[in-house]
């Protein structure tokens, strides 16, 4: 028997899955690929970023509210989802500020990776998505998410590591999200400016001036048809996403025209594949699924 194709995405907080790779996941799920989101923390220390939701009744129940939001987003994307159960570390205002005791980012990597190893062995994905070693941006939970994803990718197939967490299963490819690149935002900014649409991206672009891109884009997944699904999933995280904010300023039709892909860096591969890719499953063969990519 050949295993069906499965994709596992590892994220730090509820809402990260909808802002990073959501259209990719929705596309693969619509094609019949089994997709699982693993959320490391409950987002307990996240701020309320939508002023319309900044109410005491929500703040007092933020953990449960964010779980409910995650469930709505999961349904919209058509994926499965599970929490690892770690506690949000928060984002320190000062780099010298100590992190809260017991939080996710302070766990030993082997401890924090254990439930992810168990999830991989149970779900049996061929492909794993995660953040780069800078976390995509330097949130301590995002950096820890990268660390445990790399650890679990390497350990899940080794019968001598984490021996009590199920039968070994070796994922074949590990990708880093590359959705927030200077090239993408420059393209969108130029297109909006040329059409007389006010662009919010000038400040974003300026942040890259002294920060060269560390990882190259190796893989572009065409998923423009699922940008609306992505946006609906984002809006489901109502405490975290302002519907009048910058996420939704660029018209979707313009995004599809200018940048219809979500982009990734192939960080680890145990199969032969030719770069650049247009499919996360490139090089992975199965008799159960035959798909033409375009």
**d(Cα 157, Cα 169) in Å, to the nearest integer?**
4
Class of residue 118 by CB neighbours under 10 A (exposed 0-12, middle 13-18, buried 19+): middle
Q: Is the CB of residue 125 less than 8 Å from the CB of residue 286?
A: no
**d(Cα 106, Cα 40) in Å, to the nearest integer?**
13
**d(Cα 202, Cα 199) in Å, to the nearest integer?**
7
265 is in an annotated binding site: no
Region class of 85: left (phi > 0), else alpha (psi between -120 and 50), else beta: left
Largest CA distance in the chain: 60
Class of residue 84 by CB neighbours under 10 A (exposed 0-12, middle 13-18, buried 19+): buried
Q: How many CA atoms lie within 13 A of 161 on its CB side?
A: 19
**d(Cα 201, Cα 96) in Å, to the nearest integer?**
30
Region class of 284: left (phi > 0), else alpha (psi between -120 and 50), else beta: beta
142 is in an annotated binding site: yes
141 is in an annotated binding site: no
Q: Which of 54, 56, 41, 279 is nearest to 141 (CA)?
A: 41
- Bridge partners (DSSP) of residue 262 are 221
Q: Is the CB of residue 89 less than 8 Å from the CB of residue 104?
A: yes
**d(Cα 262, Cα 221) in Å, to the nearest integer?**
5
Binding region: 13, 16, 142
Residues belonging to the binding site for Zn(2+) are: 13, 16, 142
């Amino acid at each position: 028997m050949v295993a069906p194709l499965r994709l596992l995405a590892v994220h730090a907080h509820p809402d990260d899955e909808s802002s990073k790779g959501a259209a990719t996941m929705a596309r693969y799920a619509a094609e019949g690929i089994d997709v699982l989101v693993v959320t490391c923390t409950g987002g307990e220390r996240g701020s309320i970023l939508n002023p319309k939701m900044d109410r005491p009744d929500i703040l007092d129940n933020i953990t449960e509210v964010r779980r409910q939001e995650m469930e709505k987003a999961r349904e919209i994307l058509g994926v499965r989802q599970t929490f690892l159960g770690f506690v949000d570390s928060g984002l320190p205002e000062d780099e010298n500020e100590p992190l809260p005791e017991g939080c996710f980012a302070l766990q030993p990597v082997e401890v924090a990776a254990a439930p992810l190893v168990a999830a991989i062995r149970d779900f049996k994905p061929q492909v794993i998505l995660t953040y780069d070693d800078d976390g995509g941006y330097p949130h301590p939970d995002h950096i820890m998410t990268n660390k445990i994803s790399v650890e679990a990718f390497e350990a899940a197939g080794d019968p001598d590591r984490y021996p009590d967490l199920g039968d070994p299963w070796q994922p074949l490819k590990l990708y880093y999200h590359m959705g927030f690149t200077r090239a993408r935002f420059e393209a969108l900014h130029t297109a909006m400016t040329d059409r007389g649409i006010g662009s919010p991206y000038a400040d974003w672009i300026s942040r890259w001036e002294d920060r060269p891109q560390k990882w190259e884009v190796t893989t572009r997944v065409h998923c423009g048809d699922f940008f609306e699904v992505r946006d609906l999933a984002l809006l489901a995280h109502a405490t975290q996403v302002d519907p009048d904010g910058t996420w939704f300023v660029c018209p979707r039709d313009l995004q599809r025209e200018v940048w219809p892909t979500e982009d990734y860096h192939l960080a680890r591969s145990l199969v032969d594949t030719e770069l650049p890719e247009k499919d996360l499953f490139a090089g992975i063969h199965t008799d159960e699924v035959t798909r033409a990519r375009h």
